[in-house]
Amino acid sequence: MYDVNCPYCGAEIEICHDDGFGCEEDITYQQECPKCENGFVFTTSISIDHQAYPADCLNGAPHDYNPVITFPKEYSKMRCTMCDEERTPTIEEMASIMK
């Protein structure tokens, strides 16, 4: 899972992570490509994987709440499809959930 591709020749390089080398986040590690012998650096992200999506509701647009049906249905929530904010359903929404 620590393997990288050489940014120069594209070779797949297995990062030797003995002694924790290459395992720490926010550190720039130096590595030499065994194939083209160019030095390059790499950083590590272990489990944090950021994906950015637009969330109009954080910029003045209304939240796009969709019901998240649980069982029992009385505990269903409304969750915004954009920002994942949850709130309890209104009486009308709960009525349609209970249908």
Instruction: Give residues in contact with Zn ion (CB under 5 A).
Output: 6, 8-9, 11, 33, 35-36, 57, 63, 80, 82-83, 85
Q: Which is nearer to Zn ion, 9 or 46 (CB)?
A: 9
Place of tokens 């109009």: 56
According to DSSP, the β-strands at 4-5 and 77-80 are unpaired
Tokens of 2: 């620590």
Separation between Cα atoms, residue 12 and residue 5, nearest integer Å: 5
Q: How far is the CB of 84 from Zn ion (least distance, A)?
A: 7
Q: Which is nearer to Zn ion, 85 or 93 (CB)?
A: 85
Q: Which is nearer to Zn ion, 30 or 47 (CB)?
A: 30
Q: How far is the CB of 33 from Zn ion (least distance, A)?
A: 3
Q: How far is the CB of 54 from Zn ion (least distance, A)?
A: 11
Using left for φ > 0, alpha for ψ between -120 and 50, and beta otherwise, residue 48 falls in beta
